[in-house]
Amino acid sequence: MSERLIIFDTTLRDGEQSPGISLDVAEKLEIAEQLARLGVDYIEAGFPVASQGDFEAVEAIAKTVRGPVIAGLSRTNLADVDRCWDAVRHADRSRIHVFVSTSPNHMEHMLKMTPAQVLAETRSGVARAREHTDDVEFSPQDATRTPLDFMMEVLQAAVDAGATTLNIPDTVGYGIPWDFGALIQYVRRNIGGDYITSTHCHNDLGLATANSLAGVQAGARQVEVCVNGLGERAGNAALEEVVMAVRIRADQFPGIEVGVRTEELARTSRLVSRLTGYPVQFNKAVVGRNAFVHESGIHQHGVLANSSTYEIIDASSVGQQGSQIVLGKHSGRHAFSDTLEKMGLHVQGDALNAAFARFKELADRKVQLTEADLEAIVAEEIGGVGAEPAFTLESLEVTGGTVGVPRARVVLIRDGEKTEASADGDGMIDAACQAIKAATGIDARLTDFNVSSVTGGVDALGDVIVQLDADGVKVSGRGVSTDVVEASARAFLNATNKVVRVRARTEARARIDEVTP
Ligand code: KIV
Ligand code: ZN
Protein backbone atom coordinates (compact mmCIF):
# COMPACT_ATOMS: atom_id res chain seq x y z
CA MET A 1 0.00 0.00 0.00
CA SER A 2 1.48 3.34 -1.00
CA GLU A 3 1.11 6.54 0.98
CA ARG A 4 0.71 9.95 -0.66
CA LEU A 5 3.24 12.64 0.12
CA ILE A 6 1.11 15.79 -0.03
CA ILE A 7 2.77 18.57 -2.00
CA PHE A 8 1.67 21.83 -0.41
CA ASP A 9 2.85 24.62 -2.65
CA THR A 10 3.30 28.00 -0.98
CA THR A 11 4.91 29.89 -3.88
CA LEU A 12 2.02 32.36 -3.92
CA ARG A 13 2.19 32.98 -0.17
CA ASP A 14 5.66 32.41 1.33
CA GLY A 15 7.32 32.64 -2.10
CA GLU A 16 5.62 35.95 -2.78
CA GLN A 17 7.10 37.22 0.50
CA SER A 18 10.53 37.23 -1.17
CA PRO A 19 11.99 40.74 -1.23
CA GLY A 20 10.93 42.69 -4.30
CA ILE A 21 8.24 40.28 -5.49
CA SER A 22 4.81 41.75 -5.97
CA LEU A 23 2.46 39.75 -8.17
CA ASP A 24 -0.87 41.15 -9.26
CA VAL A 25 -4.09 39.11 -9.34
CA ALA A 26 -3.71 38.13 -13.03
CA GLU A 27 -0.15 36.94 -12.48
CA LYS A 28 -1.10 34.93 -9.39
CA LEU A 29 -3.93 33.30 -11.31
CA GLU A 30 -1.57 32.36 -14.12
CA ILE A 31 0.85 30.73 -11.68
CA ALA A 32 -1.99 28.97 -9.85
CA GLU A 33 -3.30 27.52 -13.14
CA GLN A 34 0.17 26.20 -13.90
CA LEU A 35 0.50 24.72 -10.39
CA ALA A 36 -2.78 22.90 -11.02
CA ARG A 37 -1.37 21.60 -14.32
CA LEU A 38 1.74 20.50 -12.43
CA GLY A 39 -0.52 18.51 -10.12
CA VAL A 40 0.32 19.87 -6.67
CA ASP A 41 -2.12 18.78 -3.97
CA TYR A 42 -2.50 22.14 -2.24
CA ILE A 43 -2.00 25.73 -3.34
CA GLU A 44 -1.50 28.18 -0.51
CA ALA A 45 -2.84 31.13 -2.47
CA GLY A 46 -2.01 33.93 -0.04
CA PHE A 47 -2.62 35.64 3.29
CA PRO A 48 -6.05 37.21 2.73
CA VAL A 49 -5.93 39.62 5.66
CA ALA A 50 -2.56 41.07 4.59
CA SER A 51 -4.06 43.40 1.96
CA GLN A 52 -7.08 43.86 -0.27
CA GLY A 53 -4.94 42.69 -3.23
CA ASP A 54 -4.04 39.47 -1.40
CA PHE A 55 -7.69 38.84 -0.54
CA GLU A 56 -8.77 39.34 -4.16
CA ALA A 57 -6.07 37.04 -5.47
CA VAL A 58 -6.96 34.22 -3.06
CA GLU A 59 -10.65 34.67 -3.85
CA ALA A 60 -10.04 34.66 -7.63
CA ILE A 61 -7.92 31.51 -7.37
CA ALA A 62 -10.53 29.77 -5.20
CA LYS A 63 -13.22 30.68 -7.73
CA THR A 64 -11.42 29.53 -10.86
CA VAL A 65 -8.59 27.07 -10.27
CA ARG A 66 -9.75 23.46 -10.12
CA GLY A 67 -7.83 20.39 -8.96
CA PRO A 68 -5.71 21.33 -5.95
CA VAL A 69 -7.20 22.24 -2.57
CA ILE A 70 -6.97 26.02 -2.06
CA ALA A 71 -5.52 27.17 1.26
CA GLY A 72 -5.24 30.60 2.86
CA LEU A 73 -3.04 31.66 5.76
CA SER A 74 -4.51 33.24 8.89
CA ARG A 75 -3.41 34.50 12.27
CA THR A 76 -5.37 33.13 15.22
CA ASN A 77 -7.67 36.09 15.82
CA LEU A 78 -11.23 35.35 14.88
CA ALA A 79 -11.70 38.20 12.40
CA ASP A 80 -8.62 37.01 10.47
CA VAL A 81 -9.89 33.45 10.36
CA ASP A 82 -13.31 34.60 9.10
CA ARG A 83 -11.70 36.80 6.46
CA CYS A 84 -9.51 33.91 5.32
CA TRP A 85 -12.57 31.69 4.99
CA ASP A 86 -14.36 34.37 2.98
CA ALA A 87 -11.55 34.21 0.43
CA VAL A 88 -11.04 30.42 0.18
CA ARG A 89 -14.63 29.23 0.58
CA HIS A 90 -15.36 29.38 -3.19
CA ALA A 91 -13.03 26.45 -3.97
CA ASP A 92 -14.30 22.89 -4.36
CA ARG A 93 -12.11 22.05 -1.36
CA SER A 94 -10.63 24.69 0.93
CA ARG A 95 -8.22 24.80 3.86
CA ILE A 96 -7.56 27.40 6.54
CA HIS A 97 -3.96 27.47 7.74
CA VAL A 98 -3.79 29.03 11.20
CA PHE A 99 -0.45 30.03 12.73
CA VAL A 100 0.91 31.63 15.87
CA SER A 101 4.48 32.07 17.11
CA THR A 102 5.53 29.83 19.96
CA SER A 103 9.24 30.56 20.51
CA PRO A 104 10.18 32.71 23.53
CA ASN A 105 11.91 35.08 21.14
CA HIS A 106 8.79 35.71 19.01
CA MET A 107 6.38 35.70 21.96
CA GLU A 108 8.43 38.37 23.73
CA HIS A 109 9.51 40.60 20.84
CA MET A 110 6.66 40.27 18.35
CA LEU A 111 3.48 39.02 19.97
CA LYS A 112 4.00 40.46 23.46
CA MET A 113 2.02 37.48 24.73
CA THR A 114 2.57 34.97 27.52
CA PRO A 115 2.70 31.23 26.77
CA ALA A 116 -0.76 30.89 28.34
CA GLN A 117 -2.14 33.50 25.94
CA VAL A 118 -0.56 31.76 22.95
CA LEU A 119 -2.12 28.49 24.06
CA ALA A 120 -5.53 30.15 24.34
CA GLU A 121 -5.08 31.80 20.91
CA THR A 122 -4.24 28.42 19.39
CA ARG A 123 -7.41 26.85 20.78
CA SER A 124 -9.72 29.67 19.74
CA GLY A 125 -8.20 30.24 16.27
CA VAL A 126 -8.23 26.55 15.33
CA ALA A 127 -11.73 26.02 16.74
CA ARG A 128 -13.03 28.99 14.73
CA ALA A 129 -11.41 27.66 11.55
CA ARG A 130 -12.98 24.29 12.22
CA GLU A 131 -16.43 25.93 12.30
CA HIS A 132 -15.85 26.82 8.64
CA THR A 133 -14.11 23.72 7.26
CA ASP A 134 -12.95 20.29 8.31
CA ASP A 135 -9.54 20.87 6.68
CA VAL A 136 -7.55 22.96 9.18
CA GLU A 137 -3.77 23.24 9.38
CA PHE A 138 -1.96 24.63 12.40
CA SER A 139 1.63 25.95 12.55
CA PRO A 140 3.60 26.91 15.67
CA GLN A 141 5.79 29.57 14.05
CA ASP A 142 9.51 29.34 14.87
CA ALA A 143 8.99 25.75 16.04
CA THR A 144 12.67 24.83 15.87
CA ARG A 145 13.51 27.50 18.47
CA THR A 146 10.56 26.63 20.72
CA PRO A 147 11.12 24.63 23.94
CA LEU A 148 9.90 21.11 23.20
CA ASP A 149 7.48 20.82 26.14
CA PHE A 150 5.68 24.01 25.24
CA MET A 151 5.50 23.13 21.56
CA MET A 152 3.96 19.75 22.42
CA GLU A 153 1.38 21.40 24.65
CA VAL A 154 0.41 23.81 21.86
CA LEU A 155 0.29 21.08 19.20
CA GLN A 156 -1.91 18.85 21.34
CA ALA A 157 -4.22 21.80 22.01
CA ALA A 158 -4.43 22.41 18.26
CA VAL A 159 -5.36 18.80 17.50
CA ASP A 160 -7.90 18.77 20.33
CA ALA A 161 -9.45 21.95 18.89
CA GLY A 162 -9.79 20.30 15.48
CA ALA A 163 -6.53 20.75 13.52
CA THR A 164 -6.11 18.01 10.90
CA THR A 165 -2.57 18.91 9.81
CA LEU A 166 0.28 19.87 12.15
CA ASN A 167 2.94 21.80 10.31
CA ILE A 168 6.37 22.18 11.93
CA PRO A 169 7.94 25.35 10.55
CA ASP A 170 11.68 25.81 10.64
CA THR A 171 10.93 29.49 10.24
CA VAL A 172 14.51 30.74 10.46
CA GLY A 173 16.21 27.79 8.76
CA TYR A 174 17.89 26.69 11.99
CA GLY A 175 17.35 22.94 11.64
CA ILE A 176 19.93 20.29 10.82
CA PRO A 177 18.55 17.22 8.99
CA TRP A 178 18.91 14.58 11.73
CA ASP A 179 17.77 17.01 14.41
CA PHE A 180 14.75 18.14 12.38
CA GLY A 181 13.89 14.53 11.53
CA ALA A 182 14.02 13.66 15.23
CA LEU A 183 11.64 16.53 15.98
CA ILE A 184 9.10 15.24 13.47
CA GLN A 185 9.40 11.75 14.90
CA TYR A 186 8.89 13.08 18.42
CA VAL A 187 5.71 14.88 17.35
CA ARG A 188 4.39 11.75 15.64
CA ARG A 189 5.04 9.62 18.69
CA ASN A 190 3.75 11.99 21.33
CA ILE A 191 0.79 13.89 19.91
CA GLY A 192 -2.37 11.83 19.95
CA GLY A 193 -5.13 12.16 17.38
CA ASP A 194 -5.86 11.89 13.70
CA TYR A 195 -3.62 14.36 11.87
CA ILE A 196 -0.97 14.61 9.17
CA THR A 197 2.47 15.96 10.02
CA SER A 198 4.01 18.51 7.70
CA THR A 199 7.38 20.18 7.15
CA HIS A 200 7.99 23.84 6.32
CA CYS A 201 11.72 24.42 5.99
CA HIS A 202 13.53 27.66 5.25
CA ASN A 203 16.92 27.69 3.61
CA ASP A 204 19.08 30.00 5.74
CA LEU A 205 21.77 27.32 6.05
CA GLY A 206 21.11 25.83 2.61
CA LEU A 207 19.45 22.82 4.25
CA ALA A 208 15.77 23.30 3.42
CA THR A 209 15.53 20.38 0.99
CA ALA A 210 17.61 18.07 3.20
CA ASN A 211 15.54 18.98 6.28
CA SER A 212 12.26 18.40 4.43
CA LEU A 213 13.44 14.96 3.29
CA ALA A 214 14.56 14.08 6.82
CA GLY A 215 11.07 15.04 7.95
CA VAL A 216 9.50 12.74 5.36
CA GLN A 217 11.75 9.89 6.42
CA ALA A 218 10.60 10.48 10.00
CA GLY A 219 6.91 10.29 9.12
CA ALA A 220 5.84 13.66 7.70
CA ARG A 221 3.34 13.18 4.89
CA GLN A 222 3.10 16.78 3.75
CA VAL A 223 5.93 19.05 2.58
CA GLU A 224 5.54 22.79 2.18
CA VAL A 225 7.60 23.95 -0.76
CA CYS A 226 8.03 26.76 -3.26
CA VAL A 227 8.85 26.65 -6.96
CA ASN A 228 12.51 27.62 -7.52
CA GLY A 229 12.97 27.65 -3.72
CA LEU A 230 11.48 31.15 -3.45
CA GLY A 231 10.54 32.54 -0.07
CA GLU A 232 11.51 34.85 2.76
CA ARG A 233 15.30 35.60 2.91
CA ALA A 234 17.16 32.56 1.53
CA GLY A 235 13.86 30.95 0.56
CA ASN A 236 11.92 27.76 1.26
CA ALA A 237 12.56 24.16 0.27
CA ALA A 238 12.44 23.95 -3.54
CA LEU A 239 9.44 22.00 -4.83
CA GLU A 240 11.37 20.55 -7.77
CA GLU A 241 14.22 19.32 -5.56
CA VAL A 242 12.04 17.62 -2.94
CA VAL A 243 9.79 16.00 -5.54
CA MET A 244 12.67 14.69 -7.66
CA ALA A 245 14.62 13.44 -4.63
CA VAL A 246 11.62 11.35 -3.56
CA ARG A 247 11.06 10.11 -7.13
CA ILE A 248 14.68 9.34 -8.01
CA ARG A 249 15.59 7.87 -4.61
CA ALA A 250 12.36 5.92 -4.15
CA ASP A 251 14.52 3.25 -2.48
CA GLN A 252 14.99 5.69 0.43
CA PHE A 253 11.28 6.52 0.66
CA PRO A 254 9.62 3.12 0.33
CA GLY A 255 5.88 3.18 -0.29
CA ILE A 256 5.73 6.95 -0.75
CA GLU A 257 4.05 8.30 -3.85
CA VAL A 258 4.06 11.86 -5.22
CA GLY A 259 1.29 13.04 -7.56
CA VAL A 260 3.22 15.78 -9.38
CA ARG A 261 3.48 15.64 -13.22
CA THR A 262 7.20 16.20 -13.28
CA GLU A 263 7.30 16.98 -17.03
CA GLU A 264 5.73 20.33 -16.08
CA LEU A 265 8.53 21.26 -13.65
CA ALA A 266 10.74 23.23 -16.05
CA ARG A 267 7.85 25.20 -17.51
CA THR A 268 6.51 26.00 -14.04
CA SER A 269 9.96 27.18 -13.01
CA ARG A 270 10.27 29.43 -16.07
CA LEU A 271 6.81 30.92 -15.56
CA VAL A 272 7.45 31.68 -11.90
CA SER A 273 10.84 33.17 -12.72
CA ARG A 274 9.38 35.34 -15.45
CA LEU A 275 6.46 36.68 -13.42
CA THR A 276 8.36 37.20 -10.16
CA GLY A 277 11.42 38.68 -11.84
CA TYR A 278 13.64 36.22 -9.91
CA PRO A 279 16.11 34.56 -12.27
CA VAL A 280 16.88 30.86 -11.81
CA GLN A 281 20.56 30.28 -11.17
CA PHE A 282 22.18 28.42 -14.08
CA ASN A 283 23.34 25.50 -11.96
CA LYS A 284 20.08 25.17 -9.99
CA ALA A 285 19.22 21.50 -9.40
CA VAL A 286 16.56 20.04 -11.72
CA VAL A 287 15.38 23.28 -13.40
CA GLY A 288 18.61 25.25 -13.90
CA ARG A 289 19.53 25.63 -17.53
CA ASN A 290 22.89 23.88 -16.95
CA ALA A 291 21.35 20.96 -15.04
CA PHE A 292 21.73 18.76 -18.12
CA VAL A 293 24.68 20.44 -19.81
CA HIS A 294 28.06 18.69 -19.92
CA GLU A 295 31.19 20.74 -20.38
CA SER A 296 34.25 18.54 -20.01
CA GLY A 297 35.27 16.25 -22.84
CA ILE A 298 35.17 13.15 -20.63
CA HIS A 299 31.63 13.92 -19.50
CA GLN A 300 30.46 14.70 -23.04
CA HIS A 301 31.95 11.47 -24.28
CA GLY A 302 30.21 9.50 -21.52
CA VAL A 303 26.82 11.13 -22.05
CA LEU A 304 26.97 10.64 -25.80
CA ALA A 305 27.66 6.94 -25.24
CA ASN A 306 24.89 6.66 -22.64
CA SER A 307 23.26 9.54 -20.77
CA SER A 308 23.12 7.54 -17.53
CA THR A 309 26.92 7.88 -17.21
CA TYR A 310 26.54 11.39 -15.81
CA GLU A 311 22.79 11.99 -15.54
CA ILE A 312 20.57 10.54 -12.83
CA ILE A 313 17.47 12.32 -14.13
CA ASP A 314 16.07 11.97 -17.63
CA ALA A 315 15.87 15.59 -18.86
CA SER A 316 12.54 15.01 -20.59
CA SER A 317 10.99 13.70 -17.33
CA VAL A 318 11.31 17.21 -15.85
CA GLY A 319 10.41 19.06 -19.06
CA GLN A 320 13.95 20.25 -19.72
CA GLN A 321 13.52 20.44 -23.46
CA GLY A 322 13.29 24.20 -23.76
CA SER A 323 16.06 24.24 -26.34
CA GLN A 324 14.06 22.28 -28.89
CA ILE A 325 13.41 24.32 -31.98
CA VAL A 326 9.68 24.59 -32.54
CA LEU A 327 9.03 27.41 -35.01
CA GLY A 328 10.84 29.48 -37.60
CA LYS A 329 10.26 32.54 -39.75
CA HIS A 330 8.14 30.63 -42.24
CA SER A 331 5.69 29.42 -39.59
CA GLY A 332 2.20 30.85 -39.95
CA ARG A 333 -0.35 32.14 -37.45
CA HIS A 334 -2.04 28.76 -37.24
CA ALA A 335 1.16 26.88 -36.40
CA PHE A 336 2.01 29.59 -33.89
CA SER A 337 -1.29 29.41 -32.00
CA ASP A 338 -1.31 25.62 -32.25
CA THR A 339 2.14 25.41 -30.66
CA LEU A 340 1.11 27.77 -27.86
CA GLU A 341 -1.98 25.65 -27.16
CA LYS A 342 0.17 22.49 -26.99
CA MET A 343 2.41 24.30 -24.52
CA GLY A 344 -0.64 25.09 -22.38
CA LEU A 345 -0.60 28.81 -23.21
CA HIS A 346 -4.16 29.87 -24.05
CA VAL A 347 -3.76 33.14 -25.89
CA GLN A 348 -6.60 34.49 -28.03
CA GLY A 349 -7.92 37.54 -29.84
CA ASP A 350 -5.88 40.75 -29.72
CA ALA A 351 -3.32 39.22 -27.39
CA LEU A 352 -2.69 36.44 -29.92
CA ASN A 353 -2.36 38.97 -32.75
CA ALA A 354 0.12 41.01 -30.76
CA ALA A 355 2.15 37.95 -29.75
CA PHE A 356 2.17 36.69 -33.34
CA ALA A 357 3.36 40.04 -34.69
CA ARG A 358 6.20 40.04 -32.17
CA PHE A 359 7.05 36.44 -33.00
CA LYS A 360 7.33 37.31 -36.70
CA GLU A 361 9.53 40.28 -35.93
CA LEU A 362 11.90 38.13 -33.83
CA ALA A 363 11.80 35.14 -36.18
CA ASP A 364 12.97 37.44 -38.95
CA ARG A 365 16.03 38.25 -36.89
CA LYS A 366 16.65 34.93 -35.15
CA VAL A 367 15.34 32.45 -37.73
CA GLN A 368 14.45 29.67 -35.30
CA LEU A 369 12.70 29.91 -31.95
CA THR A 370 12.40 27.45 -29.12
CA GLU A 371 9.59 26.75 -26.63
CA ALA A 372 11.40 28.85 -24.07
CA ASP A 373 11.63 31.73 -26.58
CA LEU A 374 7.90 31.50 -27.28
CA GLU A 375 7.05 31.56 -23.59
CA ALA A 376 9.19 34.65 -23.13
CA ILE A 377 7.60 36.40 -26.12
CA VAL A 378 4.06 35.67 -24.96
CA ALA A 379 4.81 36.70 -21.40
CA GLU A 380 6.36 39.99 -22.47
CA GLU A 381 3.66 40.76 -24.99
CA ILE A 382 0.62 40.14 -22.81
CA GLY A 383 2.24 40.75 -19.41
CA GLY A 384 -0.06 38.38 -17.51
CA VAL A 385 -3.44 36.82 -18.22
CA GLY A 386 -5.97 39.31 -19.59
CA ALA A 387 -3.73 42.29 -18.93
CA GLU A 388 -3.75 44.80 -21.76
CA PRO A 389 -0.52 46.82 -21.92
CA ALA A 390 -1.11 50.55 -21.45
CA PHE A 391 1.84 51.54 -23.65
CA THR A 392 3.34 49.58 -26.53
CA LEU A 393 6.70 50.20 -28.12
CA GLU A 394 6.46 51.49 -31.65
CA SER A 395 10.15 52.26 -32.17
CA LEU A 396 13.42 52.86 -30.38
CA GLU A 397 16.52 54.60 -31.70
CA VAL A 398 19.69 54.69 -29.64
CA THR A 399 23.13 56.16 -30.20
CA GLY A 400 26.13 55.59 -27.96
CA GLY A 401 29.64 54.31 -27.79
CA THR A 402 32.87 55.67 -26.38
CA VAL A 403 32.48 59.12 -27.93
CA GLY A 404 29.62 61.52 -27.14
CA VAL A 405 26.64 61.28 -24.79
CA PRO A 406 24.39 58.22 -25.23
CA ARG A 407 20.98 59.31 -26.45
CA ALA A 408 17.67 57.53 -27.09
CA ARG A 409 14.39 58.38 -28.77
CA VAL A 410 11.25 56.27 -28.22
CA VAL A 411 7.86 56.29 -29.84
CA LEU A 412 5.12 54.67 -27.76
CA ILE A 413 1.46 54.05 -28.51
CA ARG A 414 -1.35 54.39 -25.99
CA ASP A 415 -5.01 54.09 -27.00
CA GLY A 416 -4.02 54.52 -30.64
CA GLU A 417 -2.17 57.80 -29.92
CA LYS A 418 1.59 58.20 -30.41
CA THR A 419 3.75 59.76 -27.72
CA GLU A 420 7.45 60.24 -28.20
CA ALA A 421 10.37 61.50 -26.17
CA SER A 422 14.16 61.70 -26.27
CA ALA A 423 16.64 61.58 -23.42
CA ASP A 424 20.34 61.31 -22.61
CA GLY A 425 21.70 58.71 -20.23
CA ASP A 426 24.79 57.27 -18.58
CA GLY A 427 24.77 54.53 -21.20
CA MET A 428 22.49 53.38 -24.01
CA ILE A 429 20.28 51.34 -21.69
CA ASP A 430 19.94 54.20 -19.24
CA ALA A 431 19.11 56.60 -22.10
CA ALA A 432 16.37 54.25 -23.37
CA CYS A 433 14.85 53.99 -19.86
CA GLN A 434 15.00 57.78 -19.38
CA ALA A 435 13.23 58.31 -22.71
CA ILE A 436 10.49 55.86 -21.68
CA LYS A 437 10.06 57.73 -18.38
CA ALA A 438 9.73 61.00 -20.27
CA ALA A 439 7.21 59.54 -22.75
CA THR A 440 5.00 57.82 -20.14
CA GLY A 441 5.28 60.47 -17.44
CA ILE A 442 5.84 57.69 -14.89
CA ASP A 443 8.80 58.42 -12.71
CA ALA A 444 10.04 54.99 -11.67
CA ARG A 445 13.38 54.18 -10.08
CA LEU A 446 15.26 51.16 -11.44
CA THR A 447 16.10 49.05 -8.35
CA ASP A 448 17.36 45.89 -10.01
CA PHE A 449 18.57 44.88 -13.46
CA ASN A 450 19.45 41.41 -14.68
CA VAL A 451 20.40 40.26 -18.15
CA SER A 452 20.78 36.70 -19.41
CA SER A 453 19.94 34.73 -22.53
CA VAL A 454 16.74 32.69 -22.96
CA THR A 455 18.58 29.72 -24.50
CA GLY A 456 22.20 28.95 -25.26
CA GLY A 457 23.96 29.80 -28.54
CA VAL A 458 25.25 32.97 -30.14
CA ASP A 459 21.86 33.87 -31.63
CA ALA A 460 20.03 33.52 -28.28
CA LEU A 461 17.43 36.10 -27.31
CA GLY A 462 18.64 38.55 -24.68
CA ASP A 463 16.37 38.32 -21.66
CA VAL A 464 16.21 41.29 -19.30
CA ILE A 465 14.44 41.40 -15.95
CA VAL A 466 14.06 44.70 -14.13
CA GLN A 467 12.52 45.77 -10.86
CA LEU A 468 11.13 49.28 -10.49
CA ASP A 469 9.93 51.35 -7.58
CA ALA A 470 7.42 54.06 -8.45
CA ASP A 471 6.53 55.93 -5.23
CA GLY A 472 6.45 52.68 -3.25
CA VAL A 473 4.74 50.61 -5.97
CA LYS A 474 7.25 47.81 -6.60
CA VAL A 475 6.95 45.88 -9.85
CA SER A 476 9.05 43.69 -12.07
CA GLY A 477 9.18 43.59 -15.86
CA ARG A 478 10.69 41.43 -18.50
CA GLY A 479 11.75 42.02 -22.08
CA VAL A 480 13.29 39.85 -24.77
CA SER A 481 15.01 40.73 -28.00
CA THR A 482 18.02 39.82 -30.08
CA ASP A 483 19.31 43.26 -29.02
CA VAL A 484 20.04 43.75 -25.32
CA VAL A 485 19.31 47.51 -25.34
CA GLU A 486 15.91 46.85 -26.91
CA ALA A 487 15.25 43.99 -24.44
CA SER A 488 16.07 46.39 -21.58
CA ALA A 489 13.72 49.05 -22.93
CA ARG A 490 10.96 46.46 -23.33
CA ALA A 491 11.49 45.20 -19.76
CA PHE A 492 11.37 48.77 -18.46
CA LEU A 493 8.16 49.44 -20.41
CA ASN A 494 6.63 46.13 -19.31
CA ALA A 495 7.20 47.11 -15.65
CA THR A 496 5.95 50.66 -16.30
CA ASN A 497 2.70 49.19 -17.67
CA LYS A 498 2.28 47.31 -14.41
CA VAL A 499 2.66 50.56 -12.47
CA VAL A 500 -0.11 52.03 -14.66
CA ARG A 501 -2.35 49.02 -13.88
CA VAL A 502 -1.68 49.14 -10.13
CA ARG A 503 -2.42 52.88 -10.03
CA ALA A 504 -5.63 52.44 -12.04
CA ARG A 505 -6.80 49.73 -9.65
CA THR A 506 -5.97 51.83 -6.59
CA GLU A 507 -7.87 54.80 -8.03
CA ALA A 508 -10.87 52.62 -8.90
CA ARG A 509 -10.92 51.24 -5.37
CA ALA A 510 -10.73 54.74 -3.91
CA ARG A 511 -13.72 55.77 -6.06
CA ILE A 512 -15.70 52.74 -4.83
CA ASP A 513 -14.80 53.60 -1.21
CA GLU A 514 -15.99 57.19 -1.80
CA VAL A 515 -19.45 56.15 -2.92
CA THR A 516 -19.84 53.29 -0.43
CA PRO A 517 -21.52 54.54 2.74
O1 KIV B 1 8.05 30.19 8.09
C2 KIV B 1 7.00 30.15 8.75
O3 KIV B 1 6.98 29.95 9.95
C4 KIV B 1 5.76 30.37 8.04
C5 KIV B 1 4.51 30.06 8.78
C6 KIV B 1 3.46 31.10 8.59
C7 KIV B 1 4.04 28.68 8.45
O8 KIV B 1 5.77 30.70 6.87
ZN1 ZN C 1 7.78 30.28 5.96
| 508: number of Cβ within 10 Å | 10
Question: Same domain, yes or no, for 128 and 218?
Answer: yes
Tens-place pLDDT, residues 361-399:
888 877 678 777 888 788 777 654 445 668 999 999 999
Q: Pick from 151, 61, 71, 72: which is nearest to 104 by CA?
A: 151
Q: Which atom of ligand 1 is nearest to the CA of 10?
A: 8
Q: How many domains does the chain have?
A: 4
Q: How many CB atoms lie within 10 A of CB 146?
A: 27
In a domain, 440, yes or no: yes
Q: Is 501 found in the same domain as 408?
A: yes
> Does one domain contain both 106 and 253?
yes
- Closest to 392 (Cα-Cα) out of 376, 373, 416, 375: 416
Q: Cα(351)–Cα(357) distance, rounded to whole angstroms? A: 10
Question: What is the pLDDT, as a whole number, of residue 516?
Answer: 57
Residue 387 lies in a domain: no
Domain that holds residue 308: 292-322
Contact yes or no for 47/64 (Cβ under 8 A) = no
Same domain, residue pair 361 and 400 = no
* Whether the CB of 212 sits within 6 Å of ligand 1: no
In order of 52, 54, 56, 177, the CA distances from 61 in angstroms are 14, 11, 9, 34
Of 10, 16, 54, 73, the one to substitute when testing ligand 1's pocket (max ligand atoms within 8 A of C-beta) is 73
What is the CATH classification number for the domain harbouring 46?
3.20.20.70
The answer to whether residue 283 sits within a structural domain is no
282 domain-assigned: no
Assign residue 439 the CATH number of its domain: 3.30.160.270
Counting atoms of ligand 1 from 1, which one is nearest the CA of 139? 7
Are residues 8 and 225 in contact, defined by beta-carbon separation less than 8 angstroms?
yes
Q: Are residues 361 and 451 located together in one domain of the fold?
A: no
Hey, is 43 helix, strand or coil?
A: strand
403 and 480 fall within a common domain: yes
| Residues 266 and 415 placed together within one structural domain of the fold | no
pLDDT averaged per 10 residues, the chain (length 517): 95 92 88 96 97 95 98 98 98 98 97 97 98 98 98 98 98 98 98 98 98 98 98 96 98 97 94 88 91 75 79 90 70 87 80 87 79 79 59 94 92 93 95 96 89 71 85 82 92 90 74 62
Instruction: Return the ligand 1 atom nearest residue 13 CA.
Output: 8
Q: Is 29 inside a domain boundary? A: yes
Same domain, 367 and 451: no
Domain-located, residue 285: no
Cα–ligand 2 centroid distance for 199 (angstroms): 10
Say if 250 falls within a structural domain.
yes
Q: Does one domain contain both 468 and 497? A: yes
* Same-domain pairing of 364 and 403: no
Is residue 286 in a domain? no
377 and 500 in a single domain? The answer is no
> Within this chain, do residues 114 and 234 fall inside the same structural domain, yes or no?
yes
